[in-house]
Amino acid sequence: MFLQSSTPTLRLRLRHLLHSTALIGTRSLQPQHQQRHVPALSESPPRFQFQYSQCRSSSHSPISPLAVPPRKKVTINALRNLYASHTPIAMVTAHDFPSGLAADLAGVDMVLVGDSLAMVALGMEDTNQLTLDAMLHHCRAVSRAVKSAFLVGDLPMGSYEISPEQAIKSSIRLIQEGRVQAVKLEGGAELAPTISRLTSLGIPVLGHIGLTPQRASSLGGFRVQGKTLSSAQKLLSDALAAQEAGCFGVVLEAVPAEVAEMVTTELSIPTIGIGAGGGTSGQVLVQVDMLGYYPNGRFMPKFVKHYGEMFKMAKSGVEEYMKEVREGQYPKKEHTYPMGKEELEAFKRYMRERETGGKEKEGS
């Protein structure tokens, strides 16, 4: 409205002013001593170009603009299509923004914010020390990075067992505050009513049977399940109950490969194996384990395969950094920020005057 009521000359000046102001954001990385071109009044303002550059003096940028995943969002329907086409589903855990970003950009189908982070990321004794609030903190961090993979959050111990209503409240918090797309809970037939209530409300649930770490004490420790007839029968019964209750999939952990494969053939939903052989519909591994975040000597389940040596690389990098700091090799000129020559000389004069108490200025 203001531009329409102004004179033609004023309107032209305002356009150029707005254009030159907009250019500041895209040219802010230019050295200060270079003059920015301002169009003359006779020139037509160039068209805006949607080219953005960050003007930061810190490494604390959350994500590179080039790291945006180009693929489509993985949905439950996409997972069902993978299952229907017999395409193995790839799933890994993540516990923070960088691990979530690595998983998403790698192209995995599913990312799990698992309660295993209690041990691998927080140094706790077991998963049972993890609270719902702590899980929400990690889900939020991972969700900021995961934009394409289907994101699942674990319901930690004590957040769903008391009643279906408690499970609903906890699940809503994970979805609403943690920004996950589905929840995972441990348990079989005994939790079918809870699962049924959750799924009836439109909350996607991933089941988890076999070795259930939250109940490790009652299982006699972290032991393989399904090795006896009765145990294998219970595993099948739990899997069918989870499916009947509405789970879109179920994790089978630490189960003999033959049993896991037979259970998988009896279901019409995907099974995600961890230590359950190759006959399941997909696989999941803890990212910290598979990438070698810890030094040798830490106990590792036999089903874990190392795909990286992150601890070794990190330790080597820190050692090299420390060596260069000690020897004065870091930082070099290319790691510092420049200052205009005139401003630098002015500051040097100021420092000399400061040291002499202003006598140098008076003598000149």
Q: Which residues pair with 207 in a beta bridge?
A: 185, 250
Q: What are the structure tokens assigned to 262, written together?
A: 């037979």
Q: What are the structure tokens assigned to 200, written together?
A: 């009836």
Rounded Cα distance, 77 and 91, in Å: 16
Residues marked active site are found at: 253
Asked if 25 contacts 33 with a C-beta cutoff of 8 angstroms, the reply is no
Rounded Cα distance, 248 and 132, in Å: 23
**The dihedral formed by the CA atoms of 246, 249, 251 and 257, expressed in degrees to the nearest 10:** 120
Residue 358's region, left for phi above 0, alpha for psi from -120 to 50, else beta, is left
Asked if 208 contacts 250 with a C-beta cutoff of 8 angstroms, the reply is yes
Q: What is the DSSP string of 18-60?
A: HHHHHHHHHHTTS-TTSPPP---TTSPPPPP--------SSS-
Rounded Cα distance, 352 and 135, in Å: 56
Strands 271-274 and 249-253: parallel
Rounded Cα distance, 82 and 9, in Å: 63
Helix axes 132-143, 97-106, angle to 10 degrees: 50
Peptide bond into 331 cis (omega under 30): yes
Token pair 């920015």: residue = 36
Count, residues in the chain = 364
Rounded Cα distance, 76 and 110, in Å: 10
Asked if 7 contacts 15 with a C-beta cutoff of 8 angstroms, the reply is no
